[in-house]
Amino acid sequence: MPDVRPRAVIFDLDGVLTDTAEQHYLGWQRLADEESLPFDRAANEALRGLSRRESLLALLGGREVDEPTLEAWMERKNRYYVESLADMGPADALPGAVELVEDARRRGCRVAIGSSSKNAPIVLDKLGIADLFDAVADGNSVERAKPAPDLFLEAARLLGVAAGDCVVVEDAASGVDAALAAGMTAVGVGPADRVGHADYRFDRTADVDLGVVLQGNPS
């Protein structure tokens, strides 16, 4: 008897489908340099997947900053980030990314974006892949950001698929935490010290094997 329950694959955007993780890093680094805040690539690793506000608070590491300053700094970093998207185009999808989404569709899965970014619609548009997705949940969709499960649960709701029938593909530790908290299957993309707690892990997007994941035999 074939399994007829709808299944879904929810894709993180930054770091899974495109490498805007680097542009987010450069935006924060520029702000940190301008404000003489200590920051580097290693510190940036902890920001992956976090919302804009949580990223800034992590960068500040307990330094007290009033709300208007926080708002101004978030706005400035976002300006740097959006400026850096000016030349983005379809060639900026990570290798294997479009093929992976198409593979999920071919396997009969519904597909959604589950991104913390409020800029997700712009990025999807620039990459020319917005039409590939049945639903988009992003930084504008929910209050509580990753590692809370809310964003992925919202994607599942939009798709009409039960959480237990969703697979999440994520590059961030906080995103894997969010997927597991949502009761979904977590696929980590990246090194074991970052996403080794996922149910499955692959080094790069191009390596993700949905055949293995959807069969349900974690390695």
**Active-site residue 14, yes or no?**
yes
Contacts with ligand B16 by CB under 6 A lie at: 12-15, 21, 24, 47-52, 55, 78, 115-119, 139, 172
Residue 64 CB, nearest distance to Mg ion (Å)? 29
Among candidate residues 104, 83, 80, the one with its CA nearest the CA of residue 16 = 104
Q: Among positive and negative, which fits the CA dihedral 10, 16, 19, 23?
A: positive
Cis peptide before 147 (omega within 30 of 0): yes
**Tokens, residue 103:** 């593979």
What DSSP string describes 66-85? -HHHHHHHHHHHHHHHHHHT
Residue 196 CB, nearest distance to ligand B16 (Å)? 18
Q: Which is nearer to Mg ion, 151 or 163 (CB)?
A: 151
Among the listed residues 3, 14, 150, 203, the single catalytic one is: 14
Q: Which is nearer to Mg ion, 10 or 159 (CB)?
A: 10
Q: Among positive and negative, which fits the CA dihedral 152, 156, 159, 161?
A: positive
**Active-site residue 12, yes or no?**
yes
> What phi, psi does 161 have (nearest 5°)?
-120, 140
d(CA 61, CA 106): 45
- C-alpha of 45 from chain center: 13
Instruction: State the binding partner of 117 from ligand B16, Mg ion, none, CB within 5 to 8 A by kind.
Output: ligand B16
Q: Which is nearer to ligand B16, 6 or 193 (CB)?
A: 193
- Applying the rule CB under 5 A, the residues between 31 and 60 that interact with Mg ion are 49
Query: Should residue 182 be labelled a site residue for Mg ion when binding is judged by CB under 5 A?
Result: no
Q: Which is nearer to ligand B16, 57 or 212 (CB)?
A: 57
Query: Should residue 12 be labelled a site residue for Mg ion when binding is judged by CB under 5 A?
Result: yes
Q: Which is nearer to ligand B16, 47 or 104 (CB)?
A: 47
Residue whose C-beta lies closest to ligand B16: 115
Among the listed residues 12, 92, 171, 177, the single catalytic one is: 12
Residue 128 CB, nearest distance to Mg ion (Å)? 19
Query: Should residue 172 be labelled a site residue for Mg ion when binding is judged by CB under 5 A?
Result: yes
How many Cβ atoms are within 10 Å of 108's Cβ, its own excluded?
A: 11
Give Cβ neighbours of residue 202 (< 8 Å, ≥ 6 apart).
Answer: 187, 188, 189, 208, 209
Residue 12 CB, nearest distance to Mg ion (Å)? 4
The set of catalytic residues is 12, 14
> Applying CB under 5 A, which residues contact Mg ion?
12, 14-15, 49, 171-172
